[in-house]
Every structure is written in structure tokens, then in C-alpha cells.
Amino acid sequence: MQKDGQQKQWMVERTIPIFEALMRNDPENHRIHAQLGYALLGKKEPDWLTAKAELSKAIELRDKSPDKGKLLGLRVQPSYLYNKSR
């Protein structure tokens, strides 16, 4: 069981340089910042400060994005999300 966890951790850590390279190419992409933040949290020794900075940047960029409020490419109306009668 522990080997499975170690393998997942190793795979997460291997994604960090990939997300860093993607971010250099597209620094305004909020999704890349978010994924990098989550990967930094998944390390054997989590990088809490950098992860917090990346996740905060992701939220900031997302809030400025024209895609804000879209889910899988579809615009979702807030009233639909909170309608209890469905």
C-alpha cells in the first residue's frame, strides 16, 4: 500500500517541471497555476508557501478571465447552480 502512495507522490513531483515550463509559455493561464499549486502540495515535503502563491495567482487570474463562470466550455448561470427545485 505504501509503495502505491510513494509512486503517486513520485508522479506528482514529476509534473512540477512540466507545469513550470507550461507556465513560462502561458503565464496568464489560471489552470496551469492551479495545477502547479496542487502538485507542490502533493510533494513528499510540501512547498506550502509557493503552493499558496500559485493557488492565489490562479484565483486572481481566473477572476479576471472572460471564461469565469464557465464549466467545461459551457456558461453556467449562477441561478441554475443554486436552484433547489431541480
**What percentage of residues in the chain have a pLDDT greater than 70?**
74
Which amino acid, 25? N
Q: Domain range for residue 9?
A: 2-81
Within a domain: residue 27?
A: yes
Residue 74 CA to residue 11 CA, distance in Å, equals 31
Within a domain: residue 9?
A: yes
Within a domain: residue 61?
A: yes
Within a domain: residue 64?
A: yes
Residue 18: all three cell numbers together? 512540466
Within a domain: residue 54?
A: yes
Neighbours of 41 (CB within 10 A): 16
Q: What is the pTM of this model?
A: 0.71
Within a domain: residue 86?
A: no
The rounded average pLDDT for each run of 10 residues, N- to C-terminus, in the chain (86 residues) is 71 93 94 94 93 94 76 53 53
